[in-house]
Amino acid sequence: MLNSEYKVLKYIYKHPDVTFKKLNAKFHKFENLNTTLRRLDPYIEWSKMEESVAENNNYTGNYHFVDDSAFNISRNGEELIERKQHEFWAFFFPYAITTLIAASSVTVQIIGLLLDKSP
């Protein structure tokens, strides 16, 4: 999964029933939000799509999201977000604790040295 897709998925996870219009405003720098949302198909659910119409008023057979399309996270999407969050904390937490212990040890050593040198 691309980082941009994960950002959109996380946003939908935190903002249930978000509309396509809001997503488009938030992620306006993404080249094609319609494509990104279609790639997220197993992880999101949506309420509405419309068939594209060509210049000659014939339907093209392609579908796109409209401004009032609402998006929600699916169960698979929730599981993916929660698993990634768990993996982050499982990786980060031991390093944070080790760094805290090392920093406190250094601080105690410096304070001990300063107190020993005082007259």
Dig out the tokens for 59 from the structure.
């339907």
Q: Which backbone phi and psi does 44 adopt, to 5 degrees?
A: -135, 165
Is the domain 3-117 a CATH 3.30.420 member?
A: no
Cα dihedral sign, 16-21-26-31: positive
Alpha-carbon distance of 92 to 35, in angstroms, equals 33
More confident: 38 or 86: 86
In this predicted structure, what is the pLDDT of residue 48? 76
Q: Give 53's strand partners.
A: 59
pLDDT digits (tens, 9 = 90+) for 27-48: 888 778 888 888 888 998 888 7
Closest by Cα among 50, 69, 70 to 60: 50
CB atoms near residue 71 (< 10 Å): 23
Domain residue limits, the chain: 3-117
